[in-house]
Amino acid sequence: MKLHRTVVVLLAFAMPAGAHHEFQTFVQSHSGRPVNCALCHTSPDGPEGTGAGQIGSLTEGERERLNRARAAFEPSPVVDSPILNDFGNLLVARLGKRRILELRSKPELVAAELGFANDLDGDGIPDAQEYLDGTHPLSRHHGAPLRLFWHELRAHAFQVAMLFAATAITLYGLISVLRGFALRLQAHESGDAP
Amino acid sequence: MSTATDPLSSRVARFVRERLPAEKLNARQLLIEKEVPQHKASWAYYLGGLALFFFLIQVVTGLMLLFYYQPTVSDAHASVAAISEHVAGGALIRNLHAWSASAMIAVVIVHVLTTFAMKAFARPRELTWVSGMTLALIVFTFGFTGYLLPWNQIAVNATKVGLQSIEALGQYLPGELARWPTYVRETIQGEPSVGQATLSRFFALHVILLPLATVAALGVHLLQVQVHGMSRGVDVEQVKTERFFPFFVIKDLSVWGVAFFVVCVVAMCLPFDALLPYPLLEPFNPLGSTPDGIKPEWYFFFVYYPLEILPYWVVVAGSTLVLGTMFLAPWIFGRTSRRTLRVLALGAAAYFLLMTFFGQTVYEILKGGQP
């Protein structure tokens, strides 16, 4: 077991900081939704390159943050890699880099190991569930449609009730005005109008 | 009754007099004495008003979005994101705009099919029908032009595909005509590729030209509807009627109230973007690869999937034939029974539903893989 861990750690340092396509492949086949590297990375094109959020564009300070994050082989309270987004950093912080590398062969276990308590975007859908659904864990406007709908409906129950009351009252008022006009017209036609 | 020996000018004058009878152009005839038939298909009479109501929501929410939206390739996506994230009520207004657009198009489609099935285009309602078909075309163009405005991956790539399909028409045209589709595409696009000029043109079309065209066509349509009343719509000699004012108007308002409540709840609880994969919602990157899953909006699936499955010329010829037939329905189907029209409308509805909900499956069965 110790040897296995050592090999994983050595491999992790030796490997380039590429995105792990095993997770992307699993999420796409499980959810039926296309996803890209922006699920966990800052750049949708992954960490390698010279674009914003990619290794080639990092400043000296960001490189130091990257190196600190790369050393997080075991779970740690805070991971702040500049090439990862908040969800990616949460994954490394909760699982540790070593476990993430191990999970590349079992990407279906990521959600269970991450747990369903975190909701970074506050849309009511746990991050682990968003991973399974192939939706973005950092956008409160993005989630599995039915889950999002029921959560928002519960969250906005008061506003929905007020909207119903406002619509009903406005309709009642408008209909009463129309009926009044109609009665007035009828009275005018029959010569009963004052 | 016109005869073939009458001079053309006299026949045109008679046609116009019959469609715009001066004696009916007063409030009493248009509003107070108007009667609406009542029968088992009366629900279809509310669809036109419902489409109008959704259009009004479009106008109000569209005007609100105009205060914040930036029609430039550098800022369009960021301004849309800012509307959703930072403007008070912005997400609700944007979702209302998106959901009511889809609702309007859905209602317009059902309205076209039901009026066709009820033979509501028959004399003297030809102008009602033609102006209605014009409105339906405008509504679809609203959808096409509005799709580009958020300037995200799906918006730009789907627009590119749409514009390329116009140019592809050239290969089937002879001689100098073969270049015309390219001229059309370049005119719409405004530059060699979809870019700032395209966005500016689509924006101008979406917020100025199309709304003006809608007001014009809607004016003719509503005037014709009020002058000639609702078509009887069924093969029954004696149908009950109710007064348009106030009874039908009250019911119409109630339908609007229910629609308003439903579309507001949906807009409040379900962001329209949630229906799309998130990579398609990222800002358009001209240097990046085209992401998977680029498709037009659902209301173009009835022509999108056939384009992916059948030869291009078959779809273009079929679409042109169907569109021409629909515009000329009052003259082509003038003697056709309502029963036959109902069967045709049901067939069209079944095709539309099949392509909208199962187009992907149909494609996979016939071609295998993703389009």
B197 within some domain: yes
Do the Cβ atoms of A182 and B273 come within 8 Å? no
Do the Cβ atoms of A164 and B261 come within 8 Å? yes
Could you tell me if A115 and A167 lie in one domain?
Answer: no
Per-residue pLDDT of A16-56, as tens digits, reads: 445 688 999 999 999 999 999 999 999 998 999 998 899 99
Domains in chain A, number: 2
Could you tell me if A107 and A183 lie in one domain?
Answer: no
| CB atoms near residue B259 (< 10 Å) | 20
Q: For residue B303, give Cα distances in angstroms to A87, B72, B292, B351.
A: 39, 30, 20, 11
B57 within some domain: yes
Residues of B in contact with A34 (CB under 8 A): 277, 279-280, 291-293
A125 within some domain: yes
CA distance linking residue B183 with residue B187, whole number of Å: 6
Count residue pairs from A and B with Cβ separation < 8 A: 85
Per-residue pLDDT of B45-56, as tens digits, reads: 999 999 999 999
Q: What ipTM, to 2 d.p.?
A: 0.87
Residue B35, pLDDT score = 92
Could you tell me if A78 and A123 lie in one domain?
Answer: yes
pLDDT over 70, % of chain A: 89
Could you tell me if A61 and A97 lie in one domain?
Answer: yes
Could you tell me if A97 and A39 lie in one domain?
Answer: yes
B149-158, B173-182, B284-293: range with lowest mean pLDDT: B284-293
Q: Nearest-CA residue of chain B relative to A145?
A: B274
Task: Please tell me the pTM assigned to this model.
Answer: 0.91
Token duo for residue A154: 């519960």
Per-residue pLDDT of A4-18, as tens digits, reads: 555 444 444 444 445
Q: For chain B, give the mean pLDDT.
A: 94
DSSP of B142-154? HHHHHHHTT-BHH
Could you tell me if A66 and A91 lie in one domain?
Answer: yes
Higher pLDDT, B236 or B199: B199
B64 within some domain: yes
CB-nearest to A163 from B91, B250, B264 is: B264
B118 within some domain: yes
Task: Say yes or no to pLDDT of A76 above 90.
Answer: no
Question: Once rounded to an integer, what is the mean pLDDT over residues B60-80?
Answer: 98
Question: At CB < 8 Å, which residues of chain A contact B?
Answer: 33-36, 38, 44-45, 134-136, 139, 141-145, 148-149, 152-153, 156, 159-160, 163-164, 167-168, 170-171, 174-175, 178-179, 181-182, 185
Task: Say yes or no to pLDDT of B318 above 90.
Answer: yes
- Give the range of the structural domain holding residue A169, as residue numbers without chain letter: 156-189
Side-chain-side CA neighbours of residue B289 (13 Å): 7
Per-residue pLDDT of B107-141, as tens digits, reads: 999 999 999 999 999 999 999 999 999 999 999 99
Confidence grade of residue B235 (pLDDT, cut at 50, 70, 90): confident
DSSP of B104-154? HHHHHHHHHHHHHHTTTTSTT-HHHHHHHHHHHHHHHHHHHHHHHTT-BHH
A15 within some domain: yes
Of B162, B131, B154, B157, residue with least CA distance to B303: B162
Do the Cβ atoms of B253 and A34 come within 8 Å? no
Question: At CB < 8 Å, which residues of chain B contact A?
Answer: 32, 84, 91, 245-246, 249-250, 253-254, 257, 260-261, 264-266, 268-271, 273-275, 277-282, 288, 291-293
Question: Once rounded to an integer, what is the mean pLDDT over residues B211-230?
Answer: 96
Tally of residues, chain B: 371
Could you tell me if A138 and A167 lie in one domain?
Answer: no
Chain B closest CA to A3's CA: distance in Å? Answer: 40
Domains in chain B, number: 1
Per-residue pLDDT of A142-169, as tens digits, reads: 999 999 999 999 999 999 999 999 999 9
Do the Cβ atoms of A171 and B254 come within 8 Å? yes
Q: For chain A, give the mean pLDDT.
A: 89
Q: Nearest-CA residue of chain A relative to B245?
A: A182
Do the Cβ atoms of B277 and A33 come within 8 Å? yes
CB-nearest to A145 from B249, B270, B288 is: B270
Q: For residue B175, give Cα distances in angstroms to B172, B285, B288, B317.
A: 10, 37, 37, 19
- Give the range of the structural domain holding residue B137, as residue numbers without chain letter: 34-289
Phi first, then psi: give them for residue A123, nearest 5 degrees: -95, 5
Phi first, then psi: give them for residue B243, nearest 5 degrees: -75, 140
**Cα angle A166, B222, B251; round to 5:** 35
Residues of B in contact with A133 (CB under 8 A): none
Where on the phi/psi map is residue A27: left (φ > 0), alpha (ψ -120 to 50), or beta?
alpha
Classify the C-alpha dihedral B229-B234-B238-B241 as positive or negative.
Answer: negative
pLDDT over 90, % of chain B: 84
A150 within some domain: no
CA distance linking residue A139 with residue A133, whole number of Å: 13
Residue B290, pLDDT score = 83
Could you tell me if A8 and A35 lie in one domain?
Answer: yes
CB-nearest to B260 from A152, A167, A185 is: A167
Q: What CATH number does residue B111 fall under?
A: 1.20.810.10
Chain B closest CA to A139's CA: distance in Å? Answer: 9
Higher pLDDT, B175 or A191: B175
Chain B closest CA to A19's CA: distance in Å? Answer: 16
CA distance linking residue B181 with residue B167, whole number of Å: 5
Residue B91, pLDDT score = 96
Higher pLDDT, A20 or B352: B352
CA distance linking residue A175 with residue A173, whole number of Å: 6
Per-residue pLDDT of B355-364, as tens digits, reads: 999 999 999 9
**Cα angle A78, A80, A85; round to 5:** 115
